[in-house]
Structure formats: structure tokens, C-alpha cells
Amino acid sequence: MFEINQKYPLLFTKSNGKYQELHSPNDLKTMTNIQLANAEDIGLLMNELKNFQKTFQKVSKLDVSLALKHIAKRILEEKDNFAHLIAIEGGKPLKDALIEVERAALTFTLCAEEATRIHGEMIPMERSSAALGKIAFTMKEPIGPVLAISAFNHPLNLLAHQVGCALASGCVVVLKPSPGTPLNAYQLKKLFLETNLPPEVLTIAPCDVAEIEQMVANKAFGYVSFIGSAKVGWSLRSKLAAGTRLALEHGGIAPAIVCADADIERAVKSLIKGAFYHAGQVCISTQRIFVHQSIREVFVNRFLEETKKLKTQSATLADTDVGPLIRPSEVVRIKSWIEEAVHLGAKLLIGNSTEGSHQQFLHPTVLFNVSEKSKLMNEEVFGPVVCINEFENLDILMDSLSETELVFESSIFTNDMNIFMKAIKALPAMSLVINEHTAFRVDWMPFGGHKASGLGMGGVKYSIEEMTRTKQIIIST
């Protein structure tokens, strides 16, 4: 599949656009060169989108479903190749990359199933004399071309969600992959060319910010799906063409509460995974842990023992637990946040050390008693850093957490049903997870952020609903 130093030109047009070097975060060596679409390329693409959509409308949902099932099958057949590409391109540890490949195949399978389930409903018309003699029903139609702007941290499964859901809805897709991980998109495109779907159903369009804004502002799109930073996402919202629907998936500062009655061993092992999976570069990564003061010492000691066992090294090695940050500049930023927290009184328990010729590896870092004024407690760190604070009164803690603006998932470890019921009402989150870390997700469940963390709903079925619109038919008999 992937070949080192092979150039990747634009596939949808001949362009004089510049090429951008792609470096592996593991060693910062050049992997390949990706051609970027310029304003002229994007203009030509926008002019063709309407025709692309018309062509796709002639394809039956059965054929779409069969094509998506083929993609799922081929992904599993290329499992090792895709996993290796995820590891070298995105820095995700190989053992986690293998799981992502399986998830991506499942996501396409789920999309294939949903493609043939999209339907409307009968509208009862005998509630008023004015409606007698009439039949009414609704049907679902695709919202139109979808612009999918993706992120680096799940370079295959995010594409499965954005592309698979759009196609199942009947919408053609223009995919703008992350500049750090575009190669999975190109490999996925190759698989789509094996199907009977028109090649125009998926267009790969790597480009710079100016061209992204050019597309977002174009009325050719019925839907824009953005996964990335809140700052960029909310900014794009202001540039959206009138009538275009938008989904934003940003990050959070996920809190996890460990109550006095919690199973400490279970909580520690779960939260280690939640905090340090993919070096913390996950929007629902566990960033803040609040432990009841009665079990604080035991919990912290066990947490540090497990943290010390984690292997931080190249993502391509089979036993790696924590790989590199996507860019060395992220290590610099995160270390400055750690230093700020220590300056404000936090105790550094472990970590804040780096490795690699370019210092691209940051060892898992744990801090205790972190000030509420620090960035680590108020902004998404997106790195292998976790803050542990103790609490005495659960009601006071949950009340303070209710003010959180970056809200995705929250978790609480307890065996007390009364606490569980109280947490349901008090804790901010689209998902509240009991006795599991905040980064738990399966691909068919609803998924999204509240407040500043996002807009719209993810998850296969729910994304497909957002990418369709309702048309009502009324027949007078």
C-alpha cells in the first residue's frame, strides 16, 4: 500500500499547487510529499459538486450498502498495513492502531446497515376535519454534499465516521484530511475505487486554512463536519454559508471522580488507560481526577506504580504504551503548562521528562494538588498529563464541576446507587460513565460535546440523521 517518498498529487484535478512534506512524529523523518489544493483547484471542485451529487442520487441504497460492506472487508484484509500506517503517520502505538483498524471496519459495517434503514413515517390525518380525505407521510433525503474536515488522532476511524455516514445518507463527500495524517485518506480512496460507486463520491482535498474557509463559505455544501480545536471550529462557524448545517467536535477537560467506596484497583487501571491512551491526544482523555481524601494516598501510590510500567517509545514497536506527540512544538507547549501548574503550587509526582532526538516523546506526567487557576485545570492539554486533586464533600465538588465549559464525558467510580443517581443530575457531560474512564466509546452510541465542546451529534445512526432532511408528502384523495 503505502510507499516511502512516493509523491501524492491531487486526485481530482491537475494542479500547480505546492507540495508539503509529511514527517513521521516518531523520528521526524520525511515520509512523503502531499500536494495541496489551491484556490483555483477548490473553485473548480465547487463547480462540479452539484453534478457529483446528481450522479450519486442515481445509485440505490442497496448498492451503497454493499460498497460500504466491501470497504469494511478490505480494511480488515489490510489490517496490518493500515495499523502500521497509523503508527508511523500519527504516532499511535501499534497495538492501539490495530484496534482502531477493527473499529473502522465496524464503523463502515454499521454505516452499511443504516444506509438501508433510512425512512420517514406516516402522519395521522384524522385529528381534524380539515385533514380528512388526505394521506401524509415523510421521507428522508440527503442534505447535499458534505465537507468533512478531519483530525489526526484517529486517522482511519474518524474518516470511517465522516465518510461512511455521509455516503449512507446519500451525500457525496469532500474530505479535507488532517495535515499530519493524510495518508490513511489516500489509502481509503484506493479501496473506494474498487467498488461500483462513482469515483466522485469521495474527493480528497488537502489544503491550507484559506482554502478551507473558501469551501466552508461555499453554498454548494449542505453539511460541514469539523473535528479539531474549538478555536478553529467556532471561527469557521462564523464563515458558514447560509443554510449549511454544521457539526463541531472539539475537546474537553474530562473529570473523573473516585469516591470513598470505589474499587481502587479497578479505578486505577481504568484511569491509566483513560489518561495516557495515544499520549492523551484524545478529545475525551481523562485529564482531571478527583479522589476522596480517605483513599487518596492508596490511590495515588497505585496510580504511580502503574504509570511507571508504561513504555514510552516509537509507536511502531509492538510493546509501546505511549508514543510521540504529533509535533515537538506540542511537547514545548505542554511542558510550559506543567511548569505553570508547579509554579502555582502543584506537586510534580512523575514525568515531565522527554526523549527522542527532537524531544518529541513526553513521558506520562502526574501532578497533585493542581490549582484551579492553572491551564491544566481549565483547558484541554491534549497530552499525557493528568491532574489528581483530593476532595472531601462530593456535593461541593459536583457543584463546582457543573460550571465546566469544555464538556464531553465525565466519569465517577462508586458502588453507591444514591451517589450514582445524584451524579446523573449534577455532572456535566453528554455521556456520564460509571466505573470506567472518560475515554470509553463505542461507535454506534451517540457522541458529542456540550457547551464549548461541540455542536451536533456523532455516532453512526445519529450522524446519518443529521445528514438527511425531512420532506413531507401530502396527498388529497
CB under 8 A, 24+ apart: contacts of 16-20:
17/41, 20/179, 20/206
The residues near 360 (Cβ < 8 Å, ≥ 6 apart) are 25, 26, 28, 324, 325, 327, 328, 331, 354
Q: Return the H-helix or E-strand segment holding 289.
A: strand 286-292
Residue from 266, 279, 283, 297 nearest 388 by CA: 297
Which single residue is written with the C-alpha cell 515537538?
328
| Cα separation values, 373 from 340, 352, 369, Å | 10, 20, 12
Task: Choose, from 165, 171, 207, 283, the residue flagged as catalytic.
Answer: 283
Report the distance separating Cα 201 and Cα 58, nearest Å: 12
Q: What is the DSSP string of 65-94?
A: HHHHHHHHHHHHHTHHHHHHHHHHHH---H
Catalytic annotation present for 249: yes
Surface-to-core class of residue 359, CB atoms within 10 Å of its CB (0-12 exposed, 13-18 middle, 19+ buried): middle
- Cβ-based neighbour number of residue 295 at 10 Å: 18
Task: Choose, from 249, 390, 409, 436, the residue flagged as catalytic.
Answer: 249
- Cβ-based neighbour number of residue 171 at 10 Å: 27
Which single residue is written with the C-alpha cell 476511524?
157
Report the distance separating Cα 103 and Cα 307, nearest Å: 26
Side chain identity at residue 310, one-letter code = L
Report the distance separating Cα 406 and Cα 255, nearest Å: 10
**CA angle centred on 275, ends 177 and 82, rounded to 5°:** 35
| Cα separation values, 429 from 287, 408, 410, Å | 14, 5, 6
Helix (H, G, I), strand (E, B) or coil at 333: helix
Report the distance separating Cα 418 and Cα 411, nearest Å: 15
- Cβ-based neighbour number of residue 469 at 10 Å: 16
Helix (H, G, I), strand (E, B) or coil at 42: helix
CB of 198 closer than 8 Å to CB of 53: no
| Cα separation values, 466 from 281, 436, 456, 457, Å | 27, 29, 8, 8
φ/ψ of residue 114, rounded to 5: -70, -25
Q: What positions carry a catalytic annotation?
A: 249, 283
